[in-house]
Chain A
Amino acid sequence: MSTKQQDVESLVGKEYEAGFITDVETDTVPPGLSEDVIRLISTKKEEPEWLLEWRLKAYRHWLTMTEPTWPNVHYPPIDFQAISYYSAPKSKEDGPKSLDEVDPKLLETYDKLGIPLREQEMLAGVAVDAVFDSVSVATTFKEKLADAGVIFGSFSEAVKNHPELVNQYLGSVVPAADNYYAALNSAVFTDGSFCYIPKGVRCPMELSTYFRINASNTGQFERTLIIADEGSHVSYLEGCTAPMRDENQLHAAVVELVALDDAEIKYSTVQNWYPGDEKGVGGIYNFVTKRADCRGKNAKVSWTQVETGSAITWKYPSCILRGDNSVGEFYSVALTNNYQQADTGTKMIHLGKNTRSTIISKGISAGRAQNAYRGLVKITKNADDSRNFTQCDSLLIGDRCGAHTFPYIEVKNNTAQVEHEASTSKIDEDQLFYCVQRGISEEDAVNMIVNGFCKEVFKELPMEFAVEAQKLLAVSLEGAVG
Chain B
Amino acid sequence: MLNISNLHVNVEGKEILKGLNLDVKAGEVHAIMGPNGSGKSTLAHVLSGRDGYQVTEGTVRFEGKNLLELAPEERAREGVFLAFQYPVEIPGVNNAYLLKAALNAIRKHRGLEELDAIEFMALVKDKVALVQLKEDLLTRSVNEGFSGGEKKRNEIFQMAVLEPKLAILDETDSGLDIDALKIVAEGVNALRSPDRSMIMITHYQRLLNYIEPDYVHVLADGQIIKSGGKELALELEKRGYDWVREEAA
Q: Which residues of B contact A438 (CB under 8 A)?
A: 76, 98-99, 101-102, 105, 158, 162
A437 to B97, CA, bound (A): 15
Q: Are B51 and A439 in contact (CB under 8 A)?
A: no
A433-B91 in contact (CB<8A): no
B92:A437 contact, CB within 8 angstroms:
no
Residue from the list A430, A436, A451 in contact with B71, Cβ < 8 A: A436
Asked if B90 and A439 sit within 8 Å, CB to CB, the answer is: no
A428 to B141, CA, bound (A): 16
For A433, the chain B residues whose CB sits under 8 A away are 50-51, 72
- Interface locus among A53-61, A89-97, A440-448: A440-448
- B92 adjacent to A456 (CB under 8 Å): yes
B92 surroundings in chain A (CB, below 8 A): 451-456
CA distance A448 to B100 in the complex (A): 12
Specify the chain B residue showing the minimal Cβ separation from A7: B51
How many residues of B are counted as interface, with CB atoms below 8 angstroms from the partner's CB atoms?
Answer: 31
A-B contact count (CB 8 A): 86
| B-contact 0/1 string along A345-362, CB 8 Å cutoff | 000000000000000000
Interface segment among B2-10, B80-88, B130-138, B228-236: the answer is B80-88
Q: How far is the CA of A440 from the CA of B73 in the complex (A)?
A: 6
Taking a contact as CB atoms under 8 Å apart, the answer to whether A439 and B48 are in contact is no
Within 8 Å by CB of A442, from B73, B77, B99, B162, lies B73
Do B88 and A1 have beta carbons less than 8 Å apart?
Answer: no
Q: Tell whether, in the assembled complex, residue A437 and residue B51 are in contact, meaning their CB atoms are under 8 Å apart.
A: no
Interface 0/1 of A407-430, CB less than 8 Å to B: 000000000000000000000111
Residue contact B105 to A437, C-beta cutoff 8 Å: no
| A430→B93 CA distance, assembly (Å) | 14
| Smallest beta-carbon distance B96→chain A, Å | 13
- Give the contacts of B98-112 with A (CB-CB under 8 A): 98-99, 101-103, 105-106, 109
Give Cα A429–Cα B88 distance, bound, in whole angstroms. Answer: 10
Chain B residue nearest in CB terms to A453: B92
Whether the pair A3, B84 counts as a contact (CB closer than 8 A) is no
| Chain A to chain B: the 4 pairs with minimum beta-carbon distance, closest first | A452-B92, A455-B92, A438-B102, A1-B71
For this complex, 7 residue pairs linking A to B, each with C-beta atoms less than 8 Å apart, are A439-B76, A439-B77, A441-B105, A442-B73, A448-B98, A451-B93, A452-B91
Q: Taking beta carbons and an 8 Å cutoff, which residues of A are in contact with B?
A: 1-4, 428-431, 433-442, 444, 448-449, 451-456
Which B residues lie at the A interface, using CB under 8 A?
Answer: 48-51, 71-73, 76-77, 81-82, 84, 87-88, 90-93, 97-99, 101-103, 105-106, 109, 141-142, 158, 162
